Amino acid sequence: MNAPQALPGNHPSLMNNYQPLPISFTRGEGCRLWDSEGREYLDALAGVAVTSVGHSHPRIVEAIREQAGLLLHTSNLYRIDWQVQLAQQLTALAGMQRAFFCNSGAEANETALKLARLHAQRKGIRQPLVVVMENSFHGRTFATLSASDSPSCQAGFAPLMDGFIKVPFGDVLAIQALAQSHGQRIAAVLVEPVQGESGVQVAPGGYLAALRALCDEQHWLLMLDEIQTGLGRTGRWFAGRHEGVVPDVMTLAKALGNGVPIGACLAAGAAAELFGPGSHGSTFGGNPLACRVACTVLEIMEEEGLVANAERQGRLMLDELRTALKGHPQVLAVRGHGLMIGIDLAFPARHLAELAAREHGVLINIARGQTIRLLPPLTLDDATRQAMVARLLGLLESVR
């Protein structure tokens, strides 16, 4: 038997769970990155929907510098003023009442799932179920992995957690049927407004509003995982807004800290009153540095009008890609919602991310093996968008 080949960039001192490309970035500015050889790239991925206000935004740099010189961490045993300020700003923006802060998306969803269990307990449900969607992704911890529908992420980790029941994404009738068959055991519905990891799957219009109505009728919590879609990504502050939907529980992470780790679980109404002292916590969660940076991200987004910009740039980019790729024999579909764009290809395309970077100077991600996923910074301007589209078309021309 041949020795296993070392994967590119996979250093033997690191656990073998990633397969990084052998490109190392040393500097970034706005929508651009530079590697250790000084080559420039256009970033159409933003660290997977994280650096929404762009790399090295001067206001973020300044906030980090100043806060690092004042105070990084004191613990949640004391009031943290930046945490209170962030909670006020976020709940006001989202139309929610209370916030809990953690350090990642998975932890935000863990928090949501714990709220669902408490809600079930209040209702006297003994074996509660949370409705989740086919092809969903909610994180890598045991509960969030169990809530996800990703055999490749779950492989080898059995037994997973019970208490989830799965239906097709975008199918209201399937959940209405569950209300008949399992209604008494259901505590909550957990759903991504647009499924990101599975290749930018957009639900039919009216789906979230219909879920809101059903959850109200059944007294289920509607829990929106806005970790990828939230904070302007789809051209609204939160993706539920396209349909006027305010959930009972909303989770955020990715873009909230523009690269400084922070997650949030927001809750409204009765769901906001489920935790009591001691029922949940996090050592690092909500520390002064992360919260101050997140407050700065929100300020930048407001001042630079990034939500409206995401809507406009997303629409233009989708139009340009659709027009140029019409009739391309290898392109099956071009989908999008704001600055979340997916291009389905007719062939296994994992190698395209490296080809795009090396030969065309543009950073992309391949979702589920055959979909190019684009998540550029929300600060994209016309000239940068046009350059990005030109490089993407160059890439797709090379595989025609």
Ligand X SMILES: *Cc1c(COP(=O)(O)O)cnc(C)c1O
Output the smallest distance, CB 351 to ligand X, in A.
Answer: 23
CA distance 244 to 49: 23
Kindly name the residue from 100, 101, 137, 169 that is annotated as catalytic.
137
By C-beta, is 192 or 248 nearer to ligand X?
A: 192
Residue 139 touching ligand X (CB under 6 A): yes
Residue 227 touching ligand X (CB under 6 A): yes
Task: Kindly state the number of chain residues that form the binding site for ligand X, as judged by CB under 6 A.
Answer: 15
Residue 201 touching ligand X (CB under 6 A): no
Q: Is the Cβ–Cβ distance between 211 and 223 less than 8 Å?
A: no
By C-beta, is 252 or 352 nearer to ligand X?
A: 252
Answer for which of 146, 198, 228, 258 binds ligand X (CB under 6 A) is 228
Residues from 240 through 269 that contact ligand X (CB under 6 A): 253-254
User: Catalytic site residue 225?
Assistant: yes
Output the smallest distance, CB 109 to ligand X, in A.
Answer: 6
Output the smallest distance, CB 226 to ligand X, in A.
Answer: 8
Answer for which of 52, 91, 104, 234 binds ligand X (CB under 6 A) is 104
Listed as own residue / partner, the contacts of 346-355 with beta carbons closer than 8 Å and 24 or more positions apart are: 346/370, 347/399, 352/395, 352/399, 353/21, 354/8, 354/21, 355/395, 355/398
Among the listed ranges 36-44, 100-108, 174-182, 315-323, the one in contact with ligand X (CB under 6 A) is 100-108
Answer for which of 110, 149, 192, 311 binds ligand X (CB under 6 A) is 192
Question: Under the phi-then-psi rule, with left for phi > 0, alpha for psi from -120 to 50, and beta for the rest, what region is 11?
Answer: beta
Answer for which of 47, 163, 193, 196 binds ligand X (CB under 6 A) is 196
Find the residue with minimal CB distance to ligand X.
Answer: 105
Give bridge partners of residue 221 from the DSSP assignment.
Answer: 188
By C-beta, is 30 or 257 nearer to ligand X?
A: 257
Answer for which of 30, 105, 247, 342 binds ligand X (CB under 6 A) is 105
Answer for which of 110, 149, 225, 320 binds ligand X (CB under 6 A) is 225
Ramachandran angles phi, psi of 5, nearest 5°: -75, 140
Among the listed ranges 103-111, 271-279, 316-324, 373-381, the one in contact with ligand X (CB under 6 A) is 103-111
Q: Is the Cβ–Cβ distance between 215 and 176 less than 8 Å?
A: no
Residues from 345 through 364 that contact ligand X (CB under 6 A): none
Kindly name the residue from 101, 254, 275, 344 that is annotated as catalytic.
254
Residue 223 touching ligand X (CB under 6 A): no
User: Catalytic site residue 248?
Assistant: no
By C-beta, is 212 or 254 nearer to ligand X?
A: 254
Residue 169 touching ligand X (CB under 6 A): no
Output the smallest distance, CB 50 to ligand X, in A.
Answer: 9
Question: What are 160's two structure tokens?
Answer: 């997973």
Among the listed ranges 65-73, 137-145, 201-209, 235-243, the one in contact with ligand X (CB under 6 A) is 137-145
Answer for which of 64, 80, 106, 221 binds ligand X (CB under 6 A) is 106
Kindly name the residue from 43, 225, 248, 344 that is annotated as catalytic.
225
User: Catalytic site residue 347?
Assistant: no
Distance, C-alpha 359 to centroid of its chain: 28
CA distance 150 to 157: 12
Residues making contact with ligand X (CB under 6 A):
104-106, 109, 137-139, 192, 196-197, 225, 227-228, 253-254
Question: Would you please indicate which residues are annotated as catalytic (active-site) residues?
Answer: 137, 225, 254
